[in-house]
Amino acid sequence: MRRLLLLGVTASCLCVFVVTDKQPDQQADKSSPETDGVLQLKKGNFNRALRKHKQLLVHFYAPLTREGHQVSNAFEGAAEELQGSEVKLAVIDQNKEKELAKELDATGLPAIRLYLSGDKHNPVDCPIPQSSASILTWLKRRAGSATDLIADLSQSEASEELRVIGFFKELDHDYVQVFYAAAIDLPDLNFVVTQDEEVISKYGLTHDVVLLLKKSELIQAYKMMPQTSKEELIIFITVYQMDPVTEYTGETATQILTAPVLNHALLFVNKSSADFKDIHMAFSSAASAFRLKILFVFVDVDEPRNGRIMEYFRVRDFEAPLIRMINLTDHVTYQLPSDTLDLQTIKTFCQSYLEGKAKPKMQSEPIPEGWDKQPVKELVGTTLEQVAFNPNKTVFVLFYLPYSHESRAVFPLWEELAEALKEREDVVVARIDASANDINLSMQGAYPSLCLFPALHAERVVVYPGKRKVEDLIKFLDKEMKKAKKERVKEDEDRRKYIEAMKAEEAKKANESKDEL
């Protein structure tokens, strides 16, 4: 159930997260129901295929997605290997076959299902394969038994690949079944069961354990307990298979999003910046303390391909470095409320998040009572655009971070400015906490940011670049107001000319058609 839920969540994020840099070129051949050994199923031929094939592995795909493409490739490879076997591979285009997908309850993404003996109602979910080998391994493990995994370890000592080794004193113990069930769900990994005396002495084993080995080096050991579930074992394996901190890239995105740890800490940082090394080190140290609970990921804001994920989290490059936490169960995000990112701060933040004490980052804080009664108006996410984009008023907004010393240093100046402009009906001085409200404007510059929204020119924003002095601010404001007025006059003039030209054109046309008559 957990896994299903996870896949659902994953699917909904993937569309946002993953950069679709490759377009699948797969197109179902309409005239032929079979391409490269893979059946192209539709509403009209699905039932027939189901009756005919004892094992029908169906990929419900949506064209133009990275997963769709990856799975299609894996399917083609596997189809070749499975020729003549009792397994038949098939695809159903979810976009074209909406009705069929709905009937089979396969509208979510991604979905691969194995239909057995013509049973339409109880398919087995197949994990998203990374390659054709994953499909073959999954089918084999599903049909086999744990004893298939018993192997002589000495022969593959120096294997580059990660290996999951179950050491069990008795092979008929329940542990072995749990281990085997995990192996079925993780067909991309190499699983081995051993009772080898050498392994026992080499690692000093006294208990049934699962070891993760890479190049015969022990990465981590997991002690099997009577209550250990398959899910727990899978979390252990998939987490320790990854480094404590993973960089977000097109290649790692799927692994990150399918990881069964549903709390992610994301560090947005400029990899080329001078402080990257220190911040990364603090982040990594914190990561080690929260493994199995929180997945640590960093995103390079200097990488243009990360634009999509930054957009999703509404992070602007100038805000980096910053840390966000996301709960993938309810998609609520949290921001680390500090501008120092050292080990202690990060650990405290993670701890408070896990204890449910962190304050979510919201689209908007509630509108504070009496927000417009003071000289400086207190804006929030929901009132920002409404107030700032008023064509009748020029609005000067301070975007600040409450925890930043530099931001707070501007507060007295802002009070002073509001006081000085008190009598001006056409001007509003306001401020907004940029850490607690998602700000949906395309702005540049660092916080604190002093931004002017001139009247008449709704939806335009100018960042104030000058000295932090009231006189300079007012000069800037007046200049921008004049400019906006002039631009407005010119705009009106242009509009008038344009309308006249249109009218002349129409009259001419009317005249011509009259001539023709």
Ligand X SMILES: *[C@@H]1O[C@H](CO)[C@@H](O)[C@H](O)[C@H]1NC(C)=O
The residues of the shown chain that bind ligand X, judged by CB under 6 A, are 263, 270, 272-273, 301-302, 317, 327, 329-330, 353-354, 356, 363, 390-392, 440, 507-508, 511
What is the phi/psi pair of residue 193, to 5°?
-110, 135
Residue 462 · residue 483 · CB < 8 Å: no
Give the shortest CB-472-to-ligand X separation in angstroms.
27
Give the position of tokens 């992610």. 264
Question: Which is closer to ligand X, CB of 156 or CB of 390?
Answer: 390
Give the shortest CB-293-to-ligand X separation in angstroms.
8
Give the shortest CB-411-to-ligand X separation in angstroms.
27
Give the shortest CB-389-to-ligand X separation in angstroms.
8
| CA gap 445, 379 in Å, rounded | 20
| CA gap 251, 200 in Å, rounded | 36
| CA gap 93, 41 in Å, rounded | 8
Give the shortest CB-122-to-ligand X separation in angstroms.
29
| CA gap 47, 513 in Å, rounded | 62
Question: Which is closer to ligand X, CB of 221 or CB of 458?
Answer: 458
CB-hemisphere CA count at 13 Å for 26?
27
Question: Which is closer to ligand X, CB of 103 or CB of 311?
Answer: 311
Strand pairing class (427-433; 394-400): parallel
Give the shortest CB-451-to-ligand X separation in angstroms.
16
Question: Which is closer to ligand X, CB of 64 or CB of 507?
Answer: 507
Residue 228 · residue 178 · CB < 8 Å: yes
Contacts of residue 386, Cβ cutoff 8 Å, sequence gap at least 6: none
| CA gap 87, 85 in Å, rounded | 5
Give the shortest CB-238-to-ligand X separation in angstroms.
19
* Strands (DSSP E) found in 128-262: 162-167, 190-194, 209-214, 217-223, 245-247
Question: Which is closer to ligand X, CB of 329 or CB of 340?
Answer: 329
Question: Which is closer to ligand X, CB of 28 or CB of 481?
Answer: 481
For 53, other C-beta atoms within 10 Å of its C-beta total 19
For 60, other C-beta atoms within 10 Å of its C-beta total 24
For 128, other C-beta atoms within 10 Å of its C-beta total 22
Give the shortest CB-272-to-ligand X separation in angstroms.
4
Contacts of residue 423, Cβ cutoff 8 Å, sequence gap at least 6: none
Question: Which is closer to ligand X, CB of 177 or CB of 329?
Answer: 329
Residue 388 · residue 397 · CB < 8 Å: yes
Question: Which is closer to ligand X, CB of 136 or CB of 262?
Answer: 262
Give the shortest CB-505-to-ligand X separation in angstroms.
9
Question: Which is closer to ligand X, CB of 220 or CB of 327?
Answer: 327
